[in-house]
Amino acid sequence: MDIKSALEEAYRYGRGYTDQGKVADYIPELAKQHRDTVGATLINPDFETVSVGEDHYKFSAQSIAKIIIYLCVLETYDISYVRQFIGVTPSSKPFNSIIELELSHKNIPVNPFINAGAIVATSLLAQEYNENTFEKIRERAREVIGRSDLDYSHAIYQSESGSAFANRALTYMLLNDGIISPKINVEDMLNAYFKSCSLLVNTLDLAKLGAVLAHDGKDAEGKQILSVENASILRTVMATCGTYDYAGEFALLVGIPAKSGVGGGIVASSRSGYGIGVFCPGLDKHGNSYVGVRMLERLSKLLNLHIY
Ligand code: DON
């Protein structure tokens, strides 16, 4: 089947589920989104691009930004040092769980894609880049996605900062346990994390991110944007931890490394060279776009993308 027909078929199938998801409201600004907004972009191994629906609609990357945050950490420190502070184990609890942190080995976040792990990752960046931490993350996001005007939403950032009680609780526990250094300015670090989650993207941006990872770090022009090794690490952690406590089900159903965000986006990166971005803000109980997962399930079948 050609990629345009496959994407249109996945879009038709996904649209049948727009009444199933629930739009995130724990960040008040996100609650303004409409759950019948659906878009998708697919880039094939030859970098041909097709889109359907609201592919230009901008939404906040939310946890998808954790890919870029972790990439910056991997590019700043040796992986063996990073592993002392953040694990790579799939999570069995919700993405903002406090009990999981209490129960984990040495109180280290189990992986970089749950909130505690991404906050520790941002704190490691803050040790190196201080007040320029967010600029570092934004610059890298611009380079990897290939869009120099990529920026954050001030309204979403403020909304997130004003309602981040759970993230602050996790942060202070991590400080208490010595996982976050007391030498950094914790509020500045959290602001860098919130701004990163508020980066505005569309499905084309996500498909480009997925395509770069799928091509072992190379963009459409063949330029090496990130290392082969880091692209492999990111795809691996996406496959095992990218959809939180749904990752096992997702592996069975879709079988493509992917990362979701509560803004409603999902980026997927197939081993055969496809980059995919899907969007619909209604979420399942794990925080993954309900329609997005359905569209990826369909695409995986139609284009034979399941890696297992
Ligand atoms: O910190 C938060 O809660 C959000 N900025 C990001 C969480 C998120 O996207 C979880 N994903 N599905």
CA 289, CA 303: separation in Å to the nearest integer? 21
**Whole-number pLDDT of residue 227:** 98
CA 296, CA 250: separation in Å to the nearest integer? 10
Per the CB < 8 A criterion, the answer to whether 305 and 272 are in contact is yes
Q: Alpha carbon of 199 to those of 42, 157, 158, 186, 215: distances in Å? A: 21, 9, 12, 20, 24
Name the pLDDT band for 117 (thresholds 50, 70, 90): very high
If you measure from the C-alpha of residue 48 to the centroid of ligand 1, how many angstroms do you get, rounded to a whole number? Answer: 31
Q: What is the pLDDT of residues 168-213, one digit of tens each?
A: 999 999 999 999 999 999 999 999 999 999 999 999 999 999 999 9
| Ligand 1 residue neighbourhood (C-beta within 6 Å) | 62-63, 95-96, 115, 160, 167, 197, 260-262, 287
pTM for the model: 0.98
**Whole-number pLDDT of residue 4:** 97
Q: Which of 98, 262, 278, 285 to mutate to test the pocket of ligand 1 (most atoms within 8 A of CB)?
A: 262
Q: Which of 121, 136, 135 is nearest to 180 (CA)?
A: 121
If you measure from the C-alpha of residue 287 to the centroid of ligand 1, how many angstroms do you get, rounded to a whole number? Answer: 8
Looking at the chain, the whole-number percentage of residues with pLDDT higher than 70 is 100
Give the ranges where the chain is alpha helix by DSSP (H).
3-15, 65-76, 79-82, 99-103, 115-129, 133-145, 154-162, 165-176, 186-197, 203-214, 228-241, 247-253, 290-303
CA angle (141 as vertex; 136, 147 as ends), nearest 5: 125
CA-243 nearest atom, ligand 1? 12
Q: Which of 284, 31, 212, 36 is nearest to 297 (CA)?
A: 284
CA 282, CA 59: separation in Å to the nearest integer? 13
Q: What is the pLDDT of residues 234-292, one digit of tens each?
A: 999 999 999 999 999 999 999 999 999 999 999 999 999 999 999 999 999 999 999 99
